[in-house]
Amino acid sequence: MTTAPLAPGVRVRTRPVADPEGLLDLLPDEQPLCWVRDGEGLVGWGEVARFTTAGPGRFAEADAWWRAFASGLEVHDEVGAEGTGPVAFTSFTFADASPGSVVIVPRVVVGRSGGRAWITEFTGDGPAAIRPVRRVRPSGPLRWADGRLPVEGYRAAVADAVRRMRAGTLDKAALAHDLLAVADAPLDPRFLLSGLARRYPSCWSFAVDWLVGATPELLLGRSGSTVSSRVLAGTAWSEEAAPADRAELARRLLSSDKDRREHALAVESLAAALRPLCTALDVPHEPGVLALRNVSHLVSDVHGKLDRDDPASLLRLAAAAHPTAAVGGTPRAAAVALIAELEGMDRGRYAGPVGWMDAEGDGELGIALRCAQLDGPVARLFAGCGVVADSDPDTEVREAASKLRPIRDALAGTS
């Protein structure tokens, strides 16, 4: 684990500002931080402190570090809204053994919500963190290459998982594969981020430590004594996704026993994780349908009331909930072990929690889906599917390809 030392006399000030409208337009190209949906949210840059961790205790360690760090700050908050005061962006690995879970405290944060806008700045710790906002660089020509698990390997992994499920060893596993995009020059994360935000405004567009994506799935949102989650599992897709197709996709999803069963497993796993931490939990009896640009998902919005005497922080909730059956499987331990065995790759932070938190333990964490890890001129893209006993390997390959399409199109700048 690493941290940056905190100089004495550091103050944090939040003050109102004129509405910047385009939050993403404010970002420099040097390690931008972002959590934006429908034009509202938070963007940040600069780095006051960083904490990295790994292992099964990574959520608790990050929570303890952030609480200790925030408690030592002198805070002047002139706005008093969610997302004001000291804020950290965070991103966790999917697997316990993977290194790279990180908490980053930005030097500057600009927020926008409900017609209000604000800026939060660290002061008294050196020169102001002024970053020139250079013109966004398109990716240019891209070369595509197999990742650590090519498509044929993914098809074989799905087939193996299906055989085991039919033998009764587990109910579901969410398997994924990766794809590489290689450019001629270092990729600009803002180009990918803005492309995703424009195409998928109802998703949460994020950027944390070079992991960039737009997720439709909110793992957890905490606001005071309430917790919420948007569970997605069960997918139908169309190559064109015209409006007329969306009604057909919804009908297919709602009438599909396979997708309904997959969705029920995901909702049940989340509810089981949250119930011990809640005094009340509202779980829908029937799912709805979320229509995106070229896929539709079964969706359930879950809401709970936290224990008032001991309200769990956002990261404590994440420790209980991750991974849900939507991105892991069920039973959890057997599914996670199967994923590691059949994929044979380190997912890194793909399918892990990503988002932001404040000093009160509030914030939002999505699941890092529809994303790419950027490393200079190379982007590593990920996509996966929930596999159950009646899954068809060829169908799952096509579904994963459809889920890769948003990030491929945004990276390439195609419509």
Specify the DSSP element, H or E, that contains 226.
strand 226-237
217 assigned to active site: yes
Angle in degrees, CA 268, 271, 274, rounded to 5: 150
Q: Within the chain, what is the greatest distance between any pair of CA atoms? A: 63
Phi, psi dihedral angles at 279 (to 5 degrees): -90, -20
Q: Which residue out of 172, 262, 343, 364 is catalytically annotated? A: 172
Asked if residues 154 and 364 have their Cβ atoms less than 8 Å apart, the reply is no
Q: Which of 217, 262, 343, 399 is catalytic?
A: 217
Q: Check residue 274 and give left, alpha or beta (phi > 0: left; psi -120 to 50: alpha).
A: alpha
The residue to which tokens 């994923």 are assigned = 339
Give 168: exposed, middle or buried? Use CB within 10 Å, 0-12, 13-18, 19+: exposed
33 contacts 41 by C-beta, under 8 angstroms: no
Q: Is 399 a catalytic residue?
A: no
Strand partners, 122: 12
Contacts of 242 (CB under 8 A, 6+ apart): none
Cα–Cα dist 161/217, whole Å: 24
Dist CA 407 CA 251 (whole Å): 26
- For residue 276, with 0-12 CB atoms within 10 Å meaning exposed, 13-18 middle and 19 or more buried, which class applies? exposed
The DSSP call for residue 184 is S
Consecutive H or E run containing 353: strand 353-358
Which residue in this structure is represented by tokens 């608790």?
Answer: 60
DSSP bridge partners of 144: 181
Which region holds residue 411: left if phi is over 0, alpha if psi is between -120 and 50, else beta?
alpha
Interacting residues of 13 by C-beta distance below 8 A, sequence separation 6+: 75, 76, 77, 78, 120, 121, 123
| CA distances to 33, 138, 174, 184, 376 from 188, in Å | 13, 7, 30, 12, 9
Neighbours of 248 (CB within 10 A): 13
Under DSSP, the state recorded for 76 is E
Active-site residues, by number, are: 172, 217
